[in-house]
Amino acid sequence: MCGFLGFIGKHEEKTRKRFLSAFEIIDHRGPDNSNTFESDKYLLGHKRLAIIDLDDRSNQPFTKENNFLLYNGEIYNYKSLRNKLKENFGCVFETEGDTEVLFFGLMHKGIEFLQEIDGMFSLCFISNNGQVLLARDRFGQKPLFYGFKNDESLVFGSELQAIIKLVGNEALEVNEEAFSEYFQYGASIAPKTMFKSLKQVVAGEAVTISLEKKSNYSECWDKTQLFPEIKTALKDALTDRLKSCFVADTDVAILSSGGIDSSALIKTMPYVFRTTSAVAVHLKTKEDEKGLGIAKELEAANLPLLVFDSKSIFNADSSQYISMLLNRFGEPFADTSYFYSEELYSTIPDKYKVVIGGDGADEMFMGYRPRPYFYLASLVTKIIPVCIRRKLIDVVLDYGRLGLLFAVLLGCKDSSEKVLMGFSTKDLKEINLNSISDVKIERRLLISGNEITDFYANYLMTRLKNVFMKKSDHASMRFSKELRSPYLQGNKTVFPAMGNVFSNIVPKLKLKLYMLNSIGLLKIFRKKVGFEVISENNEKNRQSTIIDWCKKNKSLIDTYFIYDRFMSLIKNTSKDRYLFRIEVFIKWLEWAHSNYERK
């Protein structure tokens, strides 16, 4: 786990100084080594958190024969890949780590090599012909941003804040095309960022760039299944993935929140052979005292439990939270559970560089409460004709929240978006300054059958890759911890293949049955606990604050939105979490407008 920053193109001394200043922003991503490579064409910097092959020989930028690699992540199956590269290409290795394996794999096989990797990564590989490859793992566990400056130079790196510092505010322009997705998810969605000239590499994709030819194109490297879709016992699948996540030359901590996801990993630990020491970690909060009880119940002699008290995450006010989020991410980000994650990682002792968590289990095992309802909607819409559903929807939407839920059951996509995201695409188009003023933008869109379950699954995966993974990476790396997620490793089809018709009705059924003889029925079906720090009882105060701000800054709102419709959207938003998204956005917009003019 590391961090990197790069600039490719002709540059002056002032660009070099700006690069070195921006490079310091990611110090927390790699406290064990800091290296730069500088030439007339390249400014490349890498911060290393040493986990595999702790020797300096595995430091980066890694270079041979005028090829360069900057890489963040871990390849768990690097030893088997190393043997294949020796056998097939006669590669001679000088290190014992995964970086050199990735280097030779890309040099000899290109993008195709990425399909063979079991791990997580973001990378930049520069070929000796000047071609640049940027790529990310299939779930976006490792971030990667990039952009072009004056169409003559390329900037890229692990954190948006560092790139903003490198390119300078004068090169930035607000990206209005990213607004709608932000309002729906609370974060920018790849490939967009909130700046026109800066992008994110999409999870599971690779971007190939040639500055000389002034060309770039993206392609999905995750095209085929590496392994066949086979039925595997849950214990065996979890054991294999945990074994992979223990590939390290440092000590390991495993999170034990008391929830089903982490508890299933703790239960599986006795089956995992490991050569490194490990502990379980729990952050005690007032909101989830039952979670601590379960964590203690699962404690084992060879996996002692460390318990830390939560002290600071609920002591700030809304404006402080917003300032911290904007400072951390460099653009609007509105998931306040970030602060719980940040405090959790801050408590883990420095010796534990690797942390194993339960991220991705909800997505792999259909773990969220709306799943049964959307499954029911997929059945209902196969029975009731479209013409009847349209008439019923027109009637029920006049009956508030209950009518909205009934419209979801009838396959109304707008209503489904509102229930899941807070705002529908249609609503957001109507506030857009570029939309047609008084014309109904589109006919109400209906979805049916498998379209409904696909829509729900796509929403979950988009949120996982662009919100949850971004949050987890930032929070863990702020304290120089590498977060590994067993549920997101290995063959991506194994966990979904375990599902059956009952999995559509009972969220995370397979995991709950797995834990049944360990923690009991009542604890398995206890209410899922979230860790957001905003209060759900603050809607009126936040709504009033936002409206007052908009009235005072009408000219700024007019620059980007149809003012009356934007105000109506705010007034019709009742949940505090969605109002918080708007509040984060307007504070960022105020900052953006004060730092550069809209072009």
Domain that holds residue 472: 234-366+460-524
Q: Check if the beta carbon of residue 294 is closer than 8 Å to that of residue 519.
A: yes
The tokens describing 328, both together, are: 């951390």
Q: Check if the beta carbon of residue 565 is closer than 8 Å to that of residue 431.
A: yes
Sheet architecture: strand order including 198-200: 33-38, 42-48, 2-8, 153-157, 145-149, 198-200
In which region does residue 330 sit, left (phi positive, over 0), alpha (psi from -120 to 50) or beta (all else)? left
* CA atoms 477, 479, 480, 481: torsion sign: negative
Q: Calculate helix-pair angle for 413-421, 400-409, nearest 10 degrees.
A: 120
Q: Are 26 and 121 members of one domain?
A: yes
Q: Are 166 and 286 members of one domain?
A: no
- HEC sequence for 255-301: ECCCCHHHHHHHHHHHHCCCCCCEEEEEEECHHHHHHHHHHHHCCEC
Number of structural domains in the chain: 2
From 576, 360, 368, select the one nearest 471 (Cα to Cα): 360
Q: How far apart are CA 167 and CA 542, in angstroms?
A: 34
Helical H segments across 397-449, by residue range: 400-409, 413-421, 425-431
Q: Are 272 and 145 members of one domain?
A: no
Q: How far apart are CA 261 and CA 332, in angstroms?
A: 29
Q: Give domain status of residue 591, yes or no.
A: no
Instruction: Quote the pLDDT of residue 226.
Output: 47
Q: Give domain status of residue 442, yes or no.
A: no
From 257, 263, 321, select the one nearest 283 (Cα to Cα): 257
Q: Check if the beta carbon of residue 25 is closer than 8 Å to that of residue 161.
A: yes
The tokens describing 239, both together, are: 């054991």
DSSP 195: B
Q: Are 238 and 331 members of one domain?
A: yes
Residue 358: how many CB atoms within 10 A of its CB? 22
Q: Give domain status of residue 392, yes or no.
A: no
| Residue spans of beta strands (DSSP E) within 82-235 | 119-126, 132-136, 145-149, 153-157, 198-200, 205-210, 215-220
End residue of a domain, out of 472, 504, 524: 524
Q: Give domain status of residue 409, yes or no.
A: no
Instruction: Quote the pLDDT of residue 15.
Output: 94
Q: Check if the beta carbon of residue 566 is closer than 8 Å to that of residue 430.
A: no
Q: Check if the beta carbon of residue 279 is closer than 8 Å to that of residue 305.
A: yes
Instruction: Quote the pLDDT of residue 229.
Output: 54
For the chain, 599 residues long, the average pLDDT of each consecutive 10-residue run is: 92 95 97 94 96 87 95 96 96 94 97 96 96 96 93 93 92 93 98 96 95 80 60 89 94 95 96 89 85 92 92 71 94 94 94 96 90 96 96 94 96 97 95 64 83 96 98 97 94 78 88 91 78 71 95 96 97 93 96 70
Q: Are 185 and 261 members of one domain?
A: no
Say which residues have a Cβ less than 8 Å from residue 548's Cβ, sequence separation at least 6. none
Whether cis (ω within 30° of 0) applies to the bond prior to 61 is yes
| Residue at token pair 């194993």 | 356
Q: Calculate helix-pair angle for 13-23, 160-167, nearest 10 degrees.
A: 160
Instruction: Quote the pLDDT of residue 437.
Output: 46
Q: Give domain status of residue 336, yes or no.
A: yes
Q: Are 260 and 112 members of one domain?
A: no
Q: Are 213 and 238 members of one domain?
A: no
Q: Are 239 and 200 members of one domain?
A: no
Q: Check if the beta carbon of residue 507 is closer than 8 Å to that of residue 261.
A: no
Q: Are 185 and 108 members of one domain?
A: yes
Q: Give domain status of residue 587, yes or no.
A: no
Length of the chain: 599
